[in-house]
Structure 1
């Protein structure tokens, strides 16, 4: 779930802005209140906190990795683990357990940064260091506080050793990512944040423009670029050919094929009792 505190771009009077304005800390406080303290404010971390994992994997593999080094004021995130119970014959979420309840997140961050530095600066053996990290994983996780059915030590081992989307997928399948990013407005435009932006637009003339710069200073960037680069449908068709835009180009889904797929049935089965019309494949199976 990704929350986006509203950006009030445009000429809004100060009193109106103060009325509708909501910030990242405001959202975090409301989530804490509305979950009765289950997802508390100290469970959240700024996005650049993930750099420790990238730094360590980069040190081990010797290959450049994506570093989420954007400004800490731009976004916050956490992971929570839903706990399910059977209520009225249905599998329902009864509570959320933040990752900080059973993981020493700060300690793990500092440990990974230290090991990355040892490999990069002190030239320590990367494979031996990797084994040391794997061996130390249990010290950062309180197994007795883990959510039911979760073996986080095993999952993290796979992520670090395999470094694959499949390994990451297992973690995300069992957890719920909560994040938020607050884009800027004219009244709080911050050059330091822009200088560390990690979401960009590429303009037709080859410029790489930070997201907030492009949209907030729209007269200089977005609107100007769109006006200069746009063309009519007729011009586009004469240049690139027909059938690429408009009705002819629309994708048409095969609903029956979609509903009969295994992943569709598996995903929506818990909600079939709310469906007005069951998929044909489910009806046939029931018969």
Structure 2
């Protein structure tokens, strides 16, 4: 059977000058009188109802505007954790523990723009890698940008196009200033398979009252019949501990050594010696002044 057209889509076989009433069919619009009622309808939240709140928009422009206050103005750098040390404050004489981070031939590799990728970012590479150990796709990427193959490659989000550093520019240790604050992102130490007491801080079970050989075990994993007689997703159990990305915020830069490429930050940073650390301007502190940093970087390069 050929498909049927609704009355509003039927074409008349004659011109408008000679319209036969028998070919005019009434337009019928079907109204859906059935449906499935939601068991969990959305509930209004009193926190989302206010005349002072802006209207949420789902456009890429609105998404970038919402993140404008939390995106750094400059790119970050890739550093290697060399270990921890301490320096003494000459004014107070206090011993300040610090982490030693070293920059190894940090260079801008590529850009991410809003027109092509939907956001602004700077792709930064560190170290050096032999071309025979690099895939052809990456070799084409490096050769197209005119830079040598890198050991580590990461990208750093920036607010707008003003933060896009020219491709091929070297970022030295004086990219940061003494006294400013940075955020450090790295992977924590991997500790392998661990139980619930070490991994999540469980208190363990009794040492008496019939408990035997299960003093450090989990115990009951799921609720009874009222909870569905199943184990909920995300239940804290024994498993792999560590080796997860961790961000340490508001680390103060204590000292900068341009000749050796060292940046000393206050306190500790997650990860073992030799791990990769990504440091960038802290988003919860005022932005540093860029005039001195730009001039120092240009003179060093």
**TM-score interval, normalised by the smaller of the two chains:** under 0.3
* Bigger-Rg structure (1/2): 2
TM-score by length of structure 2 reads 0.19
Higher helix share: 1
Bigger relative contact order, structure 1 or 2 (CA pairs below 8 A, ≥6 apart): 2
* TM-score normalised by the chain length of structure 1: 0.20
